[in-house]
A = this chain, B = another copy of it.
Amino acid sequence: MSHPFLLSRLAVLGAGLIGGSVALAARRLALCRELALYSRGPEKEAVRAAGIADLVTDDPAEAVREAELVVVALPIAAMGSILHAIQDALDPKAVVTDTASVKVPAMRLLRENLEGRARWVGSHPMSGGERSGFAFARSNLFERAVAILTPPETIDGEALTMVEAFWLAVGCRVVHLPASEHDRRVAAVSHLPHLLAAALICSVDDEALEVAGSGFRDVTRIAAASPEMWNEILLANRENVLLALRSFLTYLEEARESLEDGTCFAVKNLLLEAQRRRLSFDQRLS
């Protein structure tokens, strides 16, 4: 499919799994004439060697100069100082989006640093998995993924359309949500599952692990993800994660009582409802 989407200049700040994949996808799909990448530390040389960008720099201000669209793909802890550093270099017509997993704090950082200087829209492309770093970046990472857009309360249509068209072009299905609703939903379907997978694999002794099969492998796959990244995410979204955890524990507690009294009535109901929900979820995905 040809698409009418073409940026004169795209800047991607951060070249980890997400930023690297954004850059690779933009190049493969020819979404921009020029591509600038901000990267620093040991990854910078690998990014430069990949030869995908017209400019690879450890100066974020240099990276965003004359960019129409700026994609900030950095941990929340790094976002504030980098957004501050690019303030004066941004084209006043630039549109900035980020890719953070927790949108309320990310939107606050965008507003605090960009108000009156550029337009911004929050983004969360829900892909990645348990690997991180540029070495695992790939141009098809976003195909069939959901990208959740969190526009600020006042946003002009042009900026929103640009960001939406970008994620559509790299293969995402786009959903619009308020930042707080985004954070509530991903707490339940992404952040809490990471915590459960981690607690499960830690609670199992080595002897039991020895006989674990494919079911256990799938349930705990996400436990291999970066502890630093996920600690930051869980902390940044802790109120929603705690709410999701409370809901989960309500169901689990009911099942436990049912197991304890040996009737298993609630367990059977839980399993029936779980199968129904899972099969309908599968159907929607396929």
| Across-interface contacts of A279 in B (CB, < 8 A) | 224
The answer for the CA separation of A31 and B221 in the assembled complex, in Å, is 36
Contact present for B199 and A248 (CB under 8 Å): yes
Residue of B nearest to A182 (CB): B211
| Across-interface contacts of A126 in B (CB, < 8 A) | 211, 213
Contact present for A274 and B189 (CB under 8 Å): no
Contact present for B256 and A223 (CB under 8 Å): no
Contact present for B208 and A185 (CB under 8 Å): yes
Contact present for B189 and A211 (CB under 8 Å): yes
Smallest beta-carbon distance A18→chain B, Å: 13
In this assembly, does A82 line the interface, its C-beta being within 8 Å of a C-beta of chain B?
A: no
Contact present for A219 and B197 (CB under 8 Å): yes
In this assembly, does A158 line the interface, its C-beta being within 8 Å of a C-beta of chain B?
A: no
In this assembly, does A1 line the interface, its C-beta being within 8 Å of a C-beta of chain B?
A: no
Of A184, A208, A230, A268, most B-chain CB atoms within 10 Å: A208
The answer for the CA separation of A255 and B209 in the assembled complex, in Å, is 22
| Across-interface contacts of A192 in B (CB, < 8 A) | 200
Contact present for B213 and A146 (CB under 8 Å): yes
The answer for the CA separation of A251 and B197 in the assembled complex, in Å, is 11
Residue of B nearest to A129 (CB): B214
In this assembly, does A190 line the interface, its C-beta being within 8 Å of a C-beta of chain B?
A: yes
Q: List 22 A-B contacts (CB under 8 A).
A: A126-B211, A126-B213, A185-B207, A188-B204, A189-B212, A190-B213, A195-B270, A198-B251, A199-B251, A199-B270, A201-B281, A202-B274, A215-B222, A220-B274, A223-B277, A227-B274, A230-B271, A234-B264, A238-B260, A238-B264, A241-B259, A245-B259
Smallest beta-carbon distance A60→chain B, Å: 27
> Given A217-B285, A255-B199 in contact, is the A208-B184 Cβ separation under 8 Å?
yes
Smallest beta-carbon distance A55→chain B, Å: 32
The answer for the CA separation of A139 and B71 in the assembled complex, in Å, is 49
User: What is the interface size of chain A, counting residues whose CB is below 8 A from a CB of the partner?
Assistant: 86
In this assembly, does A262 line the interface, its C-beta being within 8 Å of a C-beta of chain B?
A: yes
| Across-interface contacts of A146 in B (CB, < 8 A) | 211, 213
Of A219, A256, A273, most B-chain CB atoms within 10 Å: A219
Contact present for B255 and A211 (CB under 8 Å): no
**When the two chains form the complex, which single residue of B129, B198, B226 contacts A270, counting CB atoms closer than 8 Å?**
B198
| Across-interface contacts of A224 in B (CB, < 8 A) | 275, 278-279, 282
Contact present for A196 and B219 (CB under 8 Å): yes
In this assembly, does A72 line the interface, its C-beta being within 8 Å of a C-beta of chain B?
A: no
Q: Contact mask A152-182 → B, CB, 8 Å, 1/0? A: 0000000000000000000000010100011
Residue of B nearest to A272 (CB): B227
